[in-house]
Amino acid sequence: MRTIVAVLTAAGLAAGLTMAAGAWPGGKKVAVVLTYDDALTSQLDIAIPALDAAGLKGTFFVTGSGLKPETIGRWRAAAANGHELGNHTLFHACSRASYPAPERYTTEAYTVDAMLAEIRTMNTMLTAIDGKATHAMATPCGTHTAGGTDYLPALRQSGMVRYDRGVVGTPGDPLDVPSMWFSDKATGAEMIAAVEKAEQTGGMIVLGFHGVGGDYLTVSAEAHAQLVAWLKAHADTVWVAPFSTVLDAAGKN
């Protein structure tokens, strides 16, 4: 089971974007983005059916090494049904301090050019699955270094990805959008409270998940279901949409 540094399992920061009251589509007070990392089976089995039943769409940041021949068709169907597939690199390289991994798959072993080549290849894989020419990205472990060098400037210049989700992030930067994460002990009420707080200020909140009712870094299916039910019940004021859709809307305001 993967163990991630504490910043990924503790509550983080909301996206730091403040909008004028009613500036979101339909005059909604807050935009909520539900993101899921690593192409996990529990997302296909539990998260996506829960979202579909509520009429909500999420963003799934796919790691190439997490894809399986038998699940590609299910990811393709999810994309065709309105969920967003995003780039989470081929091998999910993080720093040595994040969790045990072969040396070749640590960010210390990468160069900026190698990281960008991996991101480019992952984009190609995603296009083969969902048919879309461009994709958003989430940096593995919320960090963006390769061989000790920040690769965001090169990524920005390349134009390969539309938007990038970080963890702590940089408020206002579409290529380092902050996000909020929850521990495996989190309740639905705690997740709902985070959205309610964001609603008070106006803006957007990006919530991050790995496993839902299974796999690793798991939030319970019950807590996730409670959040989804609350979001559906508050559709008059809360706009739930995929990551790129929300960032597109923010750029127009």
C-alpha closest to that of 88 among 164, 159, 148: 164
Beta bridge partners, 146, equal: 149
- Non-local CB neighbours of 198 within 8 Å, separated by 6+ positions: 14, 30, 32, 204, 205
Q: Which domains does the chain have, with CATH numbers?
A: 6-251 (3.20.20.370)
Beta bridge partners, 177, equal: 165
What is the Cα–Cα distance from 140 to 147, expressed in whole angstroms?
15
190-229 tens-digit pLDDT: 999 999 999 998 899 999 999 999 999 999 999 999 999 9
How many Cβ atoms sit within 10 Å of the Cβ of residue 193?
Answer: 11
Query: What percent of the chain stands above pLDDT 90?
Result: 87
pLDDT tier at 7, thresholds 50, 70, 90: very low
| Confidence check: pLDDT of 150 > 80 | yes
- Token pair in block for residue 145: 């270094």
| Confidence check: pLDDT of 170 > 70 | yes
71-97 tens-digit pLDDT: 999 999 999 999 999 999 999 999 999
What is the Cα–Cα distance from 78 to 51, expressed in whole angstroms?
11
90-123 tens-digit pLDDT: 999 999 999 999 999 999 999 999 999 999 999 9
